[in-house]
Amino acid sequence: MKQRTTLGNSTVEINRLGLGCMGMSEFYGAFDEKESIDTLHKALDLGVDFFDTADMYGSGDNERLLGKAFAGRWDDIVLATKFAVMRGPGGEFEGLNGKPKYITEACEKSLANLGVEAIDLYYMHRKDPEVEIEESVGAMANLVGQGKVKYIGLCEVDPETLRRAHAVHPVTALQTEYSLWSREPEQELFGVCAELGITFVAYSPLGRGFLTGAIKSRADLEKGDWRLDNPRFTDQAIEENLRFVEVVERIAQGKRASKAQVALAWLLSRNDEIVAIPGTRKVPRLEENIGAFKVELSPADLAVMEENIPAETVGERY
């Protein structure tokens, strides 16, 4: 399995398994700064060089965490961060903003949080429905021209919006949820990304942890874990969606691999350019995820998975 790829229209090469850092500051229960920094450092040691954060994770705390962890080591990594989701002083969500003035201000804050002079990959986290995509991407292009951003990306946009954006300025990466239980991008987005030379970055490649088999009931989630409010993690949805885990486990047993490794190997097998950013705060889980590169899924394995995976996932993504 190909382990590295070129990031979109750039000349930058990255590991196809990056690290999503969101849970190191918020959303998935308790977290520990030292443990997170140890995991970030270990990721670098193991060859992971693509890290994903956003200004809204922990209301800036996640960017500051990465700034602390990677001080003096920025030349070794490719860092992606995002703007558009506004948070209030108490962490409350205040909507989306894709206006040029806001984009400029958000970029300056992220640069300060991270302690860098330029952001490698700057995503618009979600499109502001009140602002035309051309206006937002034009502002992002200006940041590239100023040397504050190297490459731009978008998250969760439809094919038409992606084409319109790319016509204003080359889009290097598209980040969208994709996994065995979230396969919508296969319908059109994969084709558009291939046509335009855009790297597809899959977030939540393990189904927010569900495909690892670690969540068999709501009791397995800590207090404060946002999945407790997610439609796919109701009691009924968990019971129904365990069918996905059963299929993955069947293959994993035959490979002497973990369910997480099989789920990631399946995703990486879809094409040689896709990049996945599973999130973890712990070194053992990091090492387990990287082990996915050692899992070889045969055509027969893939056929079994296709034939047995449920046609629909119970519960909306959000």
* Mean of pLDDT values over 211-237: 93
Q: Would you state the pLDDT for residue 89? A: 83
Which tokens in the block code for residue 281? 């705060």
* Mean of pLDDT values over 5-34: 91
Each residue of 259-294: pLDDT tens digit?
999 999 999 999 989 999 999 999 999 999 999 999
Please indicate, yes or no, if residue 113 is contained in any of the structural domains.
yes
103 to each of 49, 156, 234, how far by Cα in Å? 26, 18, 36
Distance (Å, whole) CA 33 – CA 24: 7
102 is catalytic: no
CB of 263 within 8 A of CB of 207? Answer: yes
Please indicate, yes or no, if residue 286 is contained in any of the structural domains.
yes
Please indicate, yes or no, if residue 40 is contained in any of the structural domains.
yes
Domain CATH number, residue 74: 3.20.20.100
Burial of residue 235 (number of CB atoms within 10 Å: 0-12, 13-18, 19+): exposed
Given a cut of 80, whether residue 149 has pLDDT beyond it is: yes
Given a cut of 90, whether residue 53 has pLDDT beyond it is: yes
Given a cut of 90, whether residue 113 has pLDDT beyond it is: yes
Please indicate, yes or no, if residue 223 is contained in any of the structural domains.
no
What is the DSSP pairing of strand 119-124 with strand 149-155? parallel
Q: What is the residue whose two structure tokens read 């969540």?
A: 215
Please indicate, yes or no, if residue 316 is contained in any of the structural domains.
no
Given a cut of 90, whether residue 313 has pLDDT beyond it is: yes
Please report, as a single letter, which amino acid is at residue 17.
L
Please indicate, yes or no, if residue 9 is contained in any of the structural domains.
yes
For the chain, give the percent of residues with pLDDT over 90: 92
- Name 315's Cβ contacts closer than 8 Å, sequence gap at least 6: 230, 231, 232, 233, 234, 237, 241
Cross-strand bridge partners of residue 87: 93
Structural domain containing residue 280: 4-216+270-294
Q: How many domains does the chain have?
A: 1
Residue 256: pLDDT band (50, 70, 90) is: very high
SS (H, E, C) 106-164: HHHHHHHHHCCCCEEEEEECCCCCCCCHHHHHHHHHHHHHCCCEEEEEEECCCHHHHHH
Residue 26: pLDDT band (50, 70, 90) is: confident
Burial 155-193 (b: 16+ CB within 10 A, else e): bbbebeebeebbebbbbbbbbbbbbbbbeebeeebbebb
Mean pLDDT of the chain: 95
Q: Look up residue 74 and give its DSSP letter.
A: G
Cross-strand bridge partners of residue 240: none
Please indicate, yes or no, if residue 259 is contained in any of the structural domains.
no
φ and ψ of 305, to 5 deg: -65, -45
Query: Given 57, 122, 151, 203, which residue is catalytic?
Result: 57
pTM score above 0.85: yes
For the chain, give the percent of residues with pLDDT over 70: 100
Please indicate, yes or no, if residue 172 is contained in any of the structural domains.
yes
Distance (Å, whole) CA 15 – CA 300: 27
Residue 136: pLDDT band (50, 70, 90) is: very high
Q: Would you state the pLDDT for residue 165? A: 98
CB of 295 within 8 A of CB of 254? Answer: no
**CA within 13 Å, CB half, 215:** 25
Q: Look up residue 248 and give its DSSP letter.
A: H
